[in-house]
Amino acid sequence: MTQHNETKAVRLQTRKTGEKEHSTPLFLTSSFTYDSAEDMAAAFADDTLDVNIYSRFSNPTTDEFIAKIAALEGAEDGVATATGMAAVFGTFMTFLSQGDHILSSSAVFGSTHTIITKYLPKWGIDYSYFDMNDPSTVESLIKPETKLLYVETPSNPGLDIIDLEFLSGICKKHHVLLVVDNCFATPAVQQPIKFGADLVIHSATKFIDGQGRVLGGVVVGREELIKPLYLFIRNTGPSMSPFNAWVLTKSLETLFIRMDRHAASALQVAQKLEGHPALSMVKYPFLPSHPQHDIARKMMSNGGGIITFDLKGGIESGRKFLNSLQMLSMTNNLGDSRTIASHPASTTHSKLTVEERNAVGITPGLVRVSIGLEHPDDILSDILQALEKIQ
Q: Are residues 205 and 266 in the same domain?
A: no
Residues 6 or more apart from 222 whose CB is under 8 A from it? 75, 76, 77, 198
Q: Are residues 186 and 268 in the same domain?
A: no
Q: Are residues 216 and 174 in the same domain?
A: yes
User: Regarding predicted confidence, which is higher, 349 or 331?
Assistant: 331
Instruction: Mark which of 228, 252, 276 sits at the end of a domain.
Output: 252
Q: Say what the pLDDT of residue 1 is.
A: 67
CATH code, domain carrying 155: 3.40.640.10
User: Regarding predicted confidence, which is higher, 43 or 377?
Assistant: 377
Question: Are the C-beta atoms of 254 and 210 separated by less than 8 Å?
Answer: yes
Q: Are residues 245 and 262 in the same domain?
A: no
Instruction: Mark which of 200, 231, 252 sits at the end of a domain.
Output: 252
Question: Are the C-beta atoms of 210 and 335 separated by less than 8 Å?
Answer: yes
pLDDT digits (tens, 9 = 90+) for 236-272: 999 999 999 999 999 999 999 999 999 999 999 999 9
Q: Is 204 exposed, middle or buried (0-12, 13-18, 19+ CB in 10 A)?
A: buried
Q: Are residues 234 and 264 in the same domain?
A: no
Q: What is the mean pLDDT of residues 213-223?
A: 98
Q: How many CB atoms lie within 10 A of CB 170?
A: 17
**pLDDT of 193 higher than 70:** yes
The half-sphere exposure of 166 on its side-chain side, counting CA atoms within 13 A, is: 14
The total number of structural domains in the chain stands at: 2
The values of phi and psi at residue 317, to 5°, are -65, -35
Q: Are residues 243 and 292 in the same domain?
A: no
Q: pLDDT band at 49, cuts 50/70/90?
A: low
Percent of the chain with pLDDT over 70: 98
Question: Are the C-beta atoms of 75 and 99 separated by less than 8 Å?
Answer: no
Q: Which of 183, 219, 252, 245 lies closest to 56, judged by CA?
A: 245
pLDDT digits (tens, 9 = 90+) for 325-337: 999 999 989 999 9
**Alpha-helix runs per DSSP H in 74-207:** 84-95, 110-114, 138-141, 164-174
Q: Say what the pLDDT of residue 139 is.
A: 97
Q: Are residues 150 and 281 in the same domain?
A: no
Q: pLDDT band at 16, cuts 50/70/90?
A: confident
C-alpha to C-alpha distance for 366 and 345, rounded to whole angstroms: 7
Coil, strand or helix: which one is 149? Answer: strand
Angle between helices 223-236 and 84-95 (to 10 degrees): 110
CA dihedral 369→375→380→381, nearest 10 degrees, is: -130
* Chain CA centroid to CA 128, Å: 21
Termini Cα distance of the chain: 58
Q: Are residues 94 and 209 in the same domain?
A: yes
C-alpha to C-alpha distance for 176 and 244, rounded to whole angstroms: 33
Question: Are the C-beta atoms of 125 and 96 separated by less than 8 Å?
Answer: yes
Residues 6 or more apart from 125 whose CB is under 8 A from it? 92, 96, 97, 98, 99, 100, 101, 102
Domain residues for the domain of 313 are 256-388
pLDDT digits (tens, 9 = 90+) for 273-327: 999 999 999 999 999 999 999 999 999 999 999 999 999 988 888 889 999 999 9
